[in-house]
Amino acid sequence: MKIINYPEFSEQLFQETLPNGLRVFLHPMAGFNRTSAVLSVNYGSADSKFVRDGKLITQPAGIAHFLEHKMFDKKDYDVFELFNKNGGRSNAYTSFTKTNYVFSSTDNAKENLELLLNFVMQPYFDKQKVEREKGIISQEINMYKNDPDNQLFTSSVQSMYKGTSLADDIAGTDESLAKITVEDLNLAYDTFYRPDNMTLIVSGNLDPEKLMTVIRENQTQYPKRNRNVKFVAPKPEDVEGRTEIITMDVSRPKAAFTLRSNLDKQLSGDEGLRHELGLNLLMNLFFSENSSQYDELYHQGIIDDSFSFEIEVERGFQFAMLAGDTDDPAQFVSSLKGIADSIPELLDAKAEEFELQKRELLGNYVAMMDSPEAVSNQFYGFDDKPQTIYDEIEIISKLTLDDIKIISNNFLANYTPGCVTVQKKV
d(CA 285, CA 392): 18
Can you give the length of the chain in residues?
426
CA atoms within 13 A on the CB side of 123: 22
Catalytic residues: 68
Alpha-carbon distance values, 215 to 23, 162, 348, 405, 414 (Å): 11, 42, 51, 44, 46
CA geometry: angle 110, 100, 233, nearest 5 deg: 145
Cα–Cα nearest to 306, from 284, 277, 286, 332 = 332
DSSP per-residue string spanning 165-225: GGGS-TT--HHHHHH--HHHHHHHHHHH--GGGEEEEEEES--HHHHHHHHHHHHTTS---
d(CA 206, CA 376): 13
Burial class, 110, CB count within 10 angstroms (exposed 0-12 / middle 13-18 / buried 19+): middle
What residue spans of 207-311 are helical by DSSP H?
208-219, 269-287, 292-299
Burial class, 118, CB count within 10 angstroms (exposed 0-12 / middle 13-18 / buried 19+): middle
